[in-house]
Amino acid sequence: MKIFDLHNDALTGGGKTDHNDAVYAIWTTRLDGKAVTQLCAANENKMLAMEDCRVWLDSPEVLDAKFLYCGLTWNEFNGLAGGAKSFDRLTSKGRELIAILNERKIVVDTAHLNSRSFFDVAERADRIICSHTCFYEVNKHIRNLTRDQISAIIDKGGIVGLCFVGDFLGNGSIDGIIRHIDWFLSCFGDKNLAIGTDFYGTDDLHDVKSYKDFSKLTVAMIKQGYSDAVIHNIFYANASAYFFEQRKIL
């Protein structure tokens, strides 16, 4: 079984970086530019992303790394945009950063943005995804995407990574994960849904805590009536195809 993970926090969460098909997100909220640059240099053979571009304000050189995607903020306001726990909008500096990311053909990750900043970003960014989230219509959590937000991502050809955080799911069991998958497929089909586990980025994991646990999820999805092709699209093919195209652009 092949798994392409859009969001693994092992590099800043103290975990293992032994899954080849994972984007390792560097959470910069507690790091300075030098630390980010050193992490990137030490892991240049991996697929990398930046979570919280606040560090760019003081250290613009951090964007010299080969990031597949960058997320503007974490949960709070950071001078660029408003996180899920704030009401702030995209700032002038945020717009400047998006223009740079567009020019460098780096995907903008909308995870952690509040709704106002999300749509500000969606209006300006050439390429958008959401690397790790769940779905608001299934569980009303501030970190979850609404149907309109998902539509905005899909309209730009983007993908959405379903994460396994219990609080986002509302029920961290396999059944809770299936509820979110069912809802997404019923609304949007199976070509834009991917996996963004958030492994090592949270302690709130339940039935799926490691890549080995995907076997249990697979069995449950088969029992639910999902075909092998649909499971393969969600677990691997959608994200792999998206970033294969992105690597060709880079």
State the DSSP string of 40-97. HHHTTTSEEEEE-THHHHH-GGGGGS-EEEEES-SSS--SS--BTT------HHHHHH
Do residues 211 and 2 touch, judged by C-beta distance below 8 A? no
Determine the average pLDDT of the residues in 167-178: 97
Domain residue limits, the chain: 5-249
Token digits for 72?
């503007």
Summarised one tens digit per residue, pLDDT across range 55-64 is 999 999 999 9
Summarised one tens digit per residue, pLDDT across range 68-126 is 999 999 999 999 999 999 999 999 999 999 999 999 999 999 999 999 999 999 999 99
Round to whole Å and give the CA distance between 56 and 62: 6
Task: Give the per-residue pLDDT at 249.
Answer: 42
CATH entry, 5-249, from 3.40.50.620, 3.20.20.140, 1.10.3110.10, 3.90.1150.10: 3.20.20.140
Q: Which helix (H) or strand (E) holds 247?
A: helix 238-249
Task: Give the per-residue pLDDT at 250.
Answer: 43
Round to whole Å and give the CA distance between 192 and 91: 29
Round to whole Å and give the CA distance between 120 and 89: 7
Phi, psi dihedrals of residue 249, rounded to the nearest 5°: -65, -45
**On the CB side of 245, how many CA atoms lie within 13 Å of its CA?**
10
CA dihedral 117→118→124→129, nearest 10 degrees, is 150
* pTM for this entry: 0.96
Residue 161 amino acid letter: G
Round to whole Å and give the CA distance between 247 and 202: 28
Task: Give the per-residue pLDDT at 16.
Answer: 96
